Structure 1
C-alpha cells in the first residue's frame, strides 16, 4: 500500500477536509462513512465501536460533520483523528441533509482512497459489533452480491418500551443471511466501490434530504442497474432509540412517511399509473391485513401499520411526505 499527500485529491465543492490522521495510508481498500449531526456523545460511541473492530483488513473512517456552524461532532472526535487513534479523516458537508452527508462521505472515500474496494455506512446513533466490517466483507464475497445490509438492533432508552422491537418500524426486514431482492435502509450497509463508480454522482438524491427515503431510492436504482443485494445477519449494529421515538405520534408519522416514500420511489421506477394502482390495491387490502396483524402480534399498534402505510401511500400520491429530518429535535 502506498501513501500520498492527502490534499492531492481535491474534494467536490461543498465538501471541506478538516482533519486527517497523521500518516494516513491512502492505499487502504475499505472506508467507513459515519455521518453526524449534533450527536457528539453518540458519535463517540460509534467511533469507539470502530476502534474495536476485529478480523478486518485495514480501513479508514470518514466522519462527515453535517452541521457546519455548530460542529459538535467534529470537535468531539477531533482528538481521535489528530492523535492517530482512529485512522481517517473528518470532512464537513456544507449542505445540510442526510443525503448530502452521505454524498459527501462517499465522494471523499472515492477521491481520497483510489484503491477503494468496499465502502460501509454506520450512522452516528449506532454502534457496530466487533466483527461488523469483517462480516460484511465476507458476505459480499460469499453471496456474490454488490451490496449487503445488516440488522439495526434497537436499544431503547426507555427499557419499558422493549416490546416495540417487534414493530415493523424497528424490526429488521430479514432474518436469515442470504441473497435478497433489495434493501431500503442505509443505516448499516456495505457497498462495493464498483457501485459507486457506475452510479452517477450525486449518489443520493438530495430531494430526500429531510424526508428520508434517499436510501430506498438509491437501492431501487441500483437494482434497476443490475446490482445484487444480500443480507448479513452477522453484521449487526446497535441503534439507540430515544424515548420520543417510542411515542405514538412519532411512530405514526414514521409509518405514514414510509408509505408516502414508497409511492415516490415506485413512481420514479414504474410511472404514475402503476403506482396509483398499487396504492389503491393496498388501501383495499389494508383493513383486513391490519386486523390479522393485530391478532397475531396481540398489538393494536403493530396492526395499525398496514393501515398507516396505505394512508401514507395515498398521501404520497398527492405529494404529501412528512419531513421528519427537517427539525433535528423531532427526528
Structure 2
C-alpha cells in the first residue's frame, strides 16, 4: 500500500505558481569567451559539440573525459557554456583541459541564466567561430557519451540524410535512487530503433546540421522556456514547419546520471504536469484566435477524461500505480496551462 499513498496527495501536490508564458524571442549579447585552446583554428572542425553547464563541476569533468575518449577520426571542437555567471565552478573545472590542449575548443560564459539562453549562446558562438562546422552536437553536463557517440550520430545523419538526429538518454540511478520507476515514461526514450522519425523531444543527445541553425536563426530556443523546459520541443516544432527532417540513432546512447531526487513522487509529479503544460503551450503558439483556444481546451478536457483509463493500463503494464499516474498528470498539466498555471521546474535547480 505504501506505493499507492502518493495517489491521495496527487491533486494537492499538483499546485503550481500561476505563470503566463509569453513569447520571448530576443537574444542577449552577454557572452564572454573565458578561455580557448591554444592556436584554435575554427576552419579545422566540421563537428562542434556544445555542452551547457550549471553548478555541476564534478560531473562536467566526467562528461568532458567521455568526449576526450571518443573513438573517431573526425576532428571535433567542444564549446562549454558556463551558465553560472557568478560562481563559475564549471569554468574553473574545464579551463585546464582547454588551456593545455587536452580538448580543442573554448569555454564561454552565458550571462543570461536559463537553459535556453545557454544553448543560444553556444550555438551562436559555434556558427561564428567555426565557419567549417557541418554538424553541431549537444550533450548535457549530467551525461557521459558512449565512446562511438560522435561517429554514430554523424554517420546516421549522413546515411539517413536527415537534418536532426537524436539518441537515447539512458538513466543511471545514483546510490539512494529507487530503480522501481525505471520504466516511467520520463526515463524511457521515445523510439527504440534507428531510422527516420517524425520529430524529437529532447536536446540532451542530438546532432543538428548547420543549415538548420542558419535557417532558423538566433535566438534558436525561445527563452520563455528557460525555467519550465520544453524550449527544445518548441524548437523542433519550428524546424518541422520549415521542412527539416528527423532521425533516431539507437546505437548512440549517452548515460544520464539520475539523482535520488528524481525518483521521488514530487519530482515525477512535477515533471508530468510540466510535460502536459509544454504540449499545451506549443500548440497555443501554432494556433491563435478564440475558436482555436476553445478547441485546445476541448482537447485537453477530452484527454483528461480519457486519462484514468490510460493511466490504469500503464499501471498494469509497469506494475506501478505511481507510474500509471503519468497520463493523468500530463492531462491535468495541459488543462492548467490553458489557464496560465505552469510549474517552472528549473527555477530552483537544487530541487531538480
Q: Does the aligned pair in 1 maintain the 2:28–2:112 contact within 8 Å? A: no
| CA–CA separation in structure 1 for the residues paired with 2:50 and 2:28 | 16
The farther-off stretch of 247-256 and 319-328 is: 319-328
Alignment deviations for residues 43-66 of structure 1 (CA, whole Å, 9 cap, x no partner): 001000000111241000000000
CA distance, structure 2, for counterparts of residue 326 and residue 320 of structure 1: 15
The structural deviation recorded for 1:270 is: 3.3
1:16 counterpart (27, 32, 35): 32
Q: Does 1:285 align with 2:285?
A: no
* 1:277 Cα offset (Å): 2.9
SS at match of 2:181: helix
What runs of 5+ residues in structure 2 fail to find an aligned partner?
A: 1-26
**After the TM superposition, which residues 179-328 of structure 1 pair with which residues of structure 2 at under 5 Å, given as runs?**
179-271=196-288, 272-328=293-349
Aligned pairs for 1:27-176 within 5 A? 27=43, 28-158=45-175, 161-176=178-193
Offset from partner CA, 1:105-148 (integer Å, 9 cap, x none): 00010000011100011000000000001011011011111001
TM-score by length of structure 2 reads 0.89
Aligned match of 1:7? none
Q: Deviations over 1:206-236 (max 9, x none)?
A: 0000110100100011111111111110110
The question of whether the paired residues in 2 share the 8 Å contact of 1:188 and 1:237 is answered with: yes
Measure the CA separation in 2 of the matches of 1:276 and 1:234.
Answer: 39
* Inter-partner Cα distance in structure 1 for 2:132 and 2:342: 39
Output the CA distance in 2 between the equivalents of 1:159 and 1:302: 19
Q: Does the aligned pair in 2 maintain the 1:56–1:131 contact within 8 Å?
A: no
1:6 corresponds in structure 2 to none
1:56 and 1:133 in contact (8 A); partners too: no
- Two-structure CA RMSD over aligned residues (Å): 1.3
Question: Could you tell me how far apart the structure 2 residues matched to 1:204 and 1:160 are?
Answer: 32
1:12 to partner: Cα distance? 7.2
| TM-score, normalised relative to structure 1 | 0.95
Distance, in Å, in 1 between the alignment partners of 2:211 and 2:57 is: 32
Which position in structure 1 is the counterpart of 2:3?
none
Q: 2:42 aligns with which of 16, 26, 29?
A: 26
Residues in 2 aligned to 1:267 and 1:94: alpha-carbon distance in whole angstroms: 30
- Work out which structure has the larger RCO, using CA pairs closer than 8 Å and 6 or more positions apart in sequence: 2
Cα drift, residue 268 of structure 1 = 1.0
Number of residue equivalences = 321
Find the residue that maps to 1:67 and give its secondary structure: coil
- Give the unaligned 5+ runs of structure 1: 1-10
